[in-house]
């Protein structure tokens, strides 16, 4: 059985870390991905530790980088890094997990499939 893919943004990673739920999250039956620009700049928790737990760091191809650039001018509030997560989720046709309402609202205008959660809405037990 293949695992469902979820793309996560920086906000979710930080919230899970602060809530002490990083390990439990990566034990869930999902394959977590995020753009490499998010992983490379994570300081707490460190990106390398997240990769060891199972977070896949994805290099965006040039066409997606161009889309991030374009959307960054349309949607000024979400960071370009978080817009990169939105674009990745859209490109893969998977769910974006975000706690950023502005990013989720941005997805309404550009993505056919997205879903927004805060870390405490995930079923972690």
pLDDT tens-digit profile of 80-99? 898 999 899 989 988 888 87
Distance CA 48, CA 50 (A): 5
pTM for this predicted structure: 0.80
Largest CA distance in the chain: 40
Q: What is the pLDDT of residue 76?
A: 76
Residue extents of the structural domains in the chain:
4-121
Packed helices 62-74 and 101-110: angle between N→C axes, nearest 10 degrees: 110
User: What token pair was written down for 75?
Assistant: 């949607």
Nearest to 8 by CA among 111, 114, 109: 114
Classify domain 4-121 by CATH architecture.
3-Layer(aba) Sandwich (3.40)
Backbone angles phi, psi at 112, to 5 degrees: -80, -20
Query: What pLDDT is attached to residue 2?
Result: 60
């Amino acid at each position: 059985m293949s695992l469902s893919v979820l793309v996560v943004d920086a906000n979710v990673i930080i919230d899970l870390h602060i809530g002490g739920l990083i390990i439990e999250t990566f034990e869930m039956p999902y394959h977590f991905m995020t753009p490499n620009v998010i992983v490379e700049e994570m300081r707490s928790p460190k990106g390398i530790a997240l990769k060891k737990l199972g977070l896949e760091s994805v290099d965006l191809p040039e066409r997606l980088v161009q889309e991030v650039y374009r959307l960054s001018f349309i949607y000024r509030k979400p960071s370009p890094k978080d817009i990169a997560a939105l674009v990745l989720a859209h490109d893969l046709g998977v769910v974006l997990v975000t706690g950023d309402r502005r990013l989720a609202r941005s997805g309404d205008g550009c993505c056919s499939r997205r879903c927004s959660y805060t870390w405490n809405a995930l079923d972690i037990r």
